[in-house]
Amino acid sequence: MRYFYLLLFFVLVASLSAQTNHAVGVSSNVFTPDNLTITVGDTVTWTNNGGFHNVNGSTATYPSNPAGFDNGNAASNAWTYDFVFTQPGTYDYQCDPHAGFGMVAQIVVEAATAADTLLITEIMYNPPEGGTDSLEFIEVYNPSTAAVNMTGWTVSQGVALEFPLYILAPGEFLILAGNEAAFRNVFDYTGDVFEWTSGGLSNGGETIALSNSSGTVIVAVEFDDRAPWPAGTDGQGASLVFCDITADITDAANWQAASNVTGVVIDDKALLADPGALSDCGLDAPALKWITQDLTVSEGDGTVTISVEARNMQGLQFEVRLSGGTTTDAGDLTTDPVLPATYTVGDQAIETLTIDIILTDDALEEIEEALGLTLQVTAPAEITGSGELTITILDNDQAVSPIASVNELDANGVAISAGRTVALQGVVHCIDFRDNDGIQFWIIEPNGDGINVFNFNDVSDYQVNEGDEILVTGELVQFRGLLEIVPDAIELVSSGNDLVAPTRVDKLEESLENRYVTLNIDRAIENGIERAGGGFNVTVVQRDLDTTVVRVEDETGIDSTFLANYFFGDQAPESSLVVSGLVSQRDFSAPFDEFYQLFPCGESSFDLVTGTREPEWAQEVLVYPNPTGGVLELLLPTEVNSYRLMDLNGRILQQGQPSTSLDLTELPAGMYQLQFIGGNGFISRTVIKQ
């Protein structure tokens, strides 16, 4: 049959549809076009023609999108971004900085025509054999009425294979095998088989994708060895079969373990597979399954509706039972009807039944809770999938956490609290660095602990004002080393509150992250003022001679002329340079202990203190180890004749003539100021007691 269609290649190729690349221009507050209709397998390429933009069609922003796509944070360079749409449906997307100005768009993806569509209909990813998996295979099926030219196609994910000159006839199967000889021998198979050139299927699940000669993904499926995917396919003898070629290939509910007996037994396990034929998985038999997947809700959501599908179960009954979890008492929820409950299926071949879970929105602070539900059915019906459903319930009466309690790092510098939903309270310091196009600002507690508050969108209609005390509820994330809270709610507590005084420091480091400081600067490096994104990066030399970046956002109103005059003007060489602001970080990898930045609030954050430059002998001062667990070692020049150790409130804790060491053992953990006096001046160093 294959050779007959090869002879007709030049006749048939003209009838085959090709995937298309669609161009969308990105410019000032508009996508062009902003409405686009394409076909499954088509590619859309966005090109930024000017301005600070991005493409965000993520499911976090648009939960109704069939699949998410985005190119990350907004950027002003001449970027392009490609995405292949493999699932039909309606996709909304936006430019995050300009969504409020109407920079939103939509793409409608229509199902491919018959000639474009192939299906992956069977996967043997973990055959029941020890050692090399010689019986791994993938079954490809052409469900259309037209032949499909697969010449130059590839298996672009999963295993490696490039197809030779080949046309798959309508209604025919093609087997891709890890070992063609072993496959034909065991299954007594005489149809077309291609052996992949390298790789193997993952026993833990992965994505398998077929791409055409242009690299466009035609069909893809991501399987797994865990529920809701059937367990019998993971080394227990059965292949994974697609049950209904008209259904969604990406939905685990449409896949089952094969039941076709081959007569072959390997390691005491019967080999169950059906290569070269469609498997209906007993769809005509009575079956019950959850439509709703595991989900997370808030106790304030009220009524949560979940669904069950009954297929060919007319007049039969089933039960829904509580099956453990931490939420089973009436104080947390009620159900309608009360569980366990019996349901009777109506007269439809396929019927959807719903259950209402009514959450109790109490005023009690509680831990995250889980409600387990299970399906029970008597013969002749069967349950497809696991039959289990877990509803995680988040408490909305969360206590306010001290910022210090969420700021702990593990040994790799990763924030332990990242991913938690918390409530934090503090006073707004400085400005909104996104100027209400989304939010980015800092809140700080009276003790100086602070955190960055960031969201691409405005939250709770809150307008940022310095001195506001606010309650922020949201998820903690660690972005490029900086711990942030992404709020879903902001509540104004009071206004006009005092700000904390900035801590005077000589160097930005991890212990100062998210704090308000005044940085002593030696100088800015030559040509160190660089335009970057929506502001300036100024590379400066700290008092310890390490470099860092002062990040000046456009929202501060500071321009390049002001910066040049401050760092390189006539007064700068004769003055001490000090800049106040919030300590941020831009480190791309663990342990996240480098690339700190200072965010000043405005021109008033920059100060010139005439005649207060450090004396020349300051460069000979060495204080180590810092941080310390107890004793500081001191290497001091002869000019130093006294010292004093102070807390951050200016209280003198120790003073006298210096020696070669300083004992801090009895002091509590924290930051201190250590001053050395002598010669023609004095210097200050920040020390940290662990």
Is a pLDDT exceeding 90 seen at residue 419?
Answer: no
Name the 3-class secondary structure at 622. strand
CB 245 within 8 A of CB 119: yes
Which stretch of DSSP H or E encloses residue 182? helix 180-187
Q: Tell whether omega for the bond before 33 is within 30 degrees of 0, i.e. cis.
A: yes
391 by Cβ neighbours in 10 Å (0-12 / 13-18 / 19+) ranks as buried
pLDDT of residue 108: 93
Angle formed at CA 684 by CA 680 and CA 687, multiple of 5 degrees:
150
CB-based contacts of 50: which residues, under 8 Å, 6+ apart? Answer: 27, 28
Check if the beta carbon of residue 278 is closer than 8 Å to that of residue 141.
Answer: yes
- Alpha-carbon distance of 436 to 462, in angstroms, equals 9
Task: Fill in the DSSP letter of residue 281.
Answer: T
Q: Is the pLDDT of residue 614 over 70?
A: no
Burial of 517: CB neighbours in 10 Å, binned 0-12, 13-18, 19+: buried
**Helix or strand (DSSP H, E) at 10:** helix 9-12
- Tell which residue, 495, 388, 516, 393, has the closest CA to residue 448: 516
Which among 589, 587, 607 is positioned nearest to 597, based on CA atoms?
587
In the chain, what percentage of residues exceed pLDDT 70?
Answer: 89
For 379, residues 6+ apart whose C-beta sits below 8 A from its C-beta are: none
DSSP code for 239: P
- Do the beta carbons of residue 422 and residue 398 sit within 8 Å? yes
Quick one: pLDDT band at residue 333, thresholds 50, 70, 90? low
DSSP 379-409: TT-EE-S--EEEEEEE-S-PPBPPGGGG--B
Q: What φ, ψ does residue 181 adopt, rounded to 5°?
A: -65, -45
| Beta-bridge partner residues of 256 | 241
Over the stretch 203-218, which tens digit does the pLDDT of each residue have? Answer: 989 999 998 888 888 8
Residue 311 has pLDDT above 70, yes or no: yes
Give yes or no for residue 334 having a pLDDT over 60.
no
300: three-class secondary structure by DSSP: helix
Whole-number percent of the chain with pLDDT over 90: 26
* Residue 529, token pair as written in the block: 């003022």
| 3-state SS class at 184 | helix
pLDDT digit string, tens, across residues 489-530: 888 888 899 888 888 888 898 889 999 998 888 778 877 888
Q: For the stretch 268-304, what's the b/e string if a residue is b when 16 or more beta carbons lie within 10 angstroms of its beta carbon?
A: ebebbbbbbebbebebeebbbbbebeeeeeebeeeeb
Amino acid identity of residue 657, one-letter, is: Q
> Is the peptide bond between 591 and the residue preceding it cis, with omega within 30 degrees of 0?
yes
Residues 220, 117 contacting (CB under 8 angstroms): no
Q: What is the pLDDT of residues 453-477, one digit of tens each?
A: 999 888 888 889 999 999 898 899 9
The pair of three-digit structure tokens given for residue 234, joined into one six-digit string: 């993971």
CA angle 189/195/196 to nearest 5° reads 145
List, in sequence order, every residue forming a beta bridge with 548; answer none if it has no partner.
540
Domains located in the chain, CATH noted? 19-110 (2.60.40.420), 114-272 (2.60.40.1260), 288-394 (2.60.40.2030), 403-494 (2.40.50.140), 503-610 (2.40.50.140), 616-689 (2.60.40.1930)
Can you tell me whether residue 676 is helix, strand or coil?
strand
- Collapsing DSSP states into helix, strand and coil, what is residue 61? coil
Both tokens of residue 550?
């002062």
Of 581, 583, 542, 586, give the one whose Cα is nearest residue 558.
581
Q: How far apart are the first and last CA of the chain?
A: 77
Amino acid at 409: L
* Cβ-contact 19, 148 below 8 angstroms: no
Sheet of 287-290, strand order: 333-336, 350-359, 303-311, 287-290, 382-383
**What amino acid occupies position 153?**
W
Taking the C-alpha atoms of residue 347 and residue 276, their distance in angstroms, rounded to an integer, is 35
Do residues 220 and 210 lie in contact, with contact meaning Cβ atoms separated by under 8 Å?
Answer: yes
Q: Is the pLDDT of residue 484 over 90?
A: yes
- Give CA 46 to chain center in angstroms: 22
Range list of H helices, 305-418? none
Q: What is the pLDDT of residue 392?
A: 83
Confidence grade of residue 322 (pLDDT, cut at 50, 70, 90): confident
Residue 575 has pLDDT above 80, yes or no: no
Under a CB-based contact definition with an 8 Å cutoff, are residues 56 and 81 in contact? Answer: no
pTM of the model: 0.38
Q: Is the pLDDT of residue 640 over 90?
A: no
The pLDDT-based confidence of 182 (bands split at 50, 70, 90) is very high
